[in-house]
């Protein structure tokens, strides 16, 4: 999907990782290769390597290829590639919109917005979900019917820390392990071509936007989800967690009648574009305030 910035300009995004995964899952040869990539021990080895000192050799090539402006980040030496990947940005480079009636983006990402209905289907990392299959909880899924699902897609070159979109009370964290299902696409050869990535979600009880559901989706094989808190009070813009290496996704489910998303974002979604948003910036407004203005 193409992407636009908040000024309406089309921006080029090199989604090499997602394109590679799509090719792997859409061809017999790719599905065969995946048989050797999905075992847990492979993922653990990848994470182990990226956390070792030797992995630092990949940092400079990555910076050059993705034209990352390192002046925006805290100046320090990195002890591994994962240490670099989870680098912290300077606070002044990601100011937080503190207006209480504004909904903010939890991360740097490409955003699309979808209505939630009983038969909604959402494609997340090449896997199609219903709300029920996404949450593995029918009652929780029904609670958000009539609301909106905001899909924030991060690429490998995005800032991989994320924050709370509003102040409120945070619930416990619900963890959903990733799984692979087998089907028989060709002859009698069985390949794992339908995947569900590891997911983690919690509820954020906001005085303004009601009970929001915030979910993190890990990347295939490596992308570890690292959340910091649960069952506590949080403040908008406060860092919630980070992803280790891998393009990852954050999902925000809003209850019916809670917010109106900014017109440019809705227009872009309708036209088939993602919208480039940044950590802490306004992406919507409390619906009651909008009705009164």
Decide: residue 293, CB within 10 A, 0-12 exposed, 13-18 middle, 19+ buried.
Answer: exposed
Residue 55 appears among annotated catalytic residues: no
Which listed residue (83, 108, 244, 262) is catalytic?
A: 108
Which positions ≥6 away from 70 have C-beta within 8 Å?
A: 63
Q: Apex CA 10: angle with CA 9 and CA 11, to 5°?
A: 110
Question: Are the C-beta atoms of residues 152 and 250 closer than 8 Å to each other?
Answer: yes
Is 2 a known active-site residue? no
Catalytic residue among 80, 109, 206, 248: 248
Contact 8/273 with Cβ under 8 angstroms? no
2-4 and 273-277: which strand pairing? Answer: parallel
Residue that the structure tokens 């979600």 belong to: 201
Tokens of 73: 């980040």
Q: Which helix (H) or strand (E) holds 170?
A: strand 168-170
Catalytic residues: 108, 248
């Amino acid at each position: 999907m193409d992407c636009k910035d908040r000024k309406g300009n089309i921006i080029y995004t090199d989604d090499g990782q997602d394109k590679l995964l799509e090719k792997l899952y859409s061809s017999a040869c790719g599905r065969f290769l995946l048989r050797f990539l999905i075992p847990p021990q492979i993922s653990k080895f990848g994470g182990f390597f990226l956390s070792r000192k030797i992995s630092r050799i990949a940092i400079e090539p990555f910076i050059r290829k993705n034209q990352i402006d390192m002046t925006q980040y805290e100046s320090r030496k990195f002890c591994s590639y994962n240490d670099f990947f989870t680098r912290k940005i300077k606070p002044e480079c990601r100011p937080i919109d503190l207006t209480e009636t504004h909904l903010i983006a939890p991360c740097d990402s490409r955003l699309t917005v979808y209505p939630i209905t009983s038969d909604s289907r959402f494609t997340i990392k090449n896997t199609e979900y219903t709300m029920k299959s996404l949450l593995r909880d029918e009652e929780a899924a029904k609670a958000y019917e009539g609301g909106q699902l905001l899909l924030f897609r991060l690429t490998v070159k995005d800032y991989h820390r994320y924050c709370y979109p509003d102040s409120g009370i945070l619930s416990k964290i619900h963890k959903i392990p990733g799984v692979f299902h087998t089907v028989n696409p060709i002859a009698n050869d069985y390949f794992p071509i339908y995947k569900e990535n590891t997911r983690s979600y919690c509820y954020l009880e906001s005085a303004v936007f009601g009970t929001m559901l915030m979910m993190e989706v890990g990347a295939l094989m490596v992308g570890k989800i690292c959340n910091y808190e649960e069952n506590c009070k949080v403040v908008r813009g406060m860092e919630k967690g980070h992803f280790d290496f891998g393009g990852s996704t954050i999902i925000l489910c809003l209850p019916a009648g809670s917010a109106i998303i900014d017109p440019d974002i809705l227009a872009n979604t309708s036209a088939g574009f993602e919208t480039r948003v940044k950590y802490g910036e306004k992406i919507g407004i409390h619906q009651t305030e909008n009705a009164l203005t």
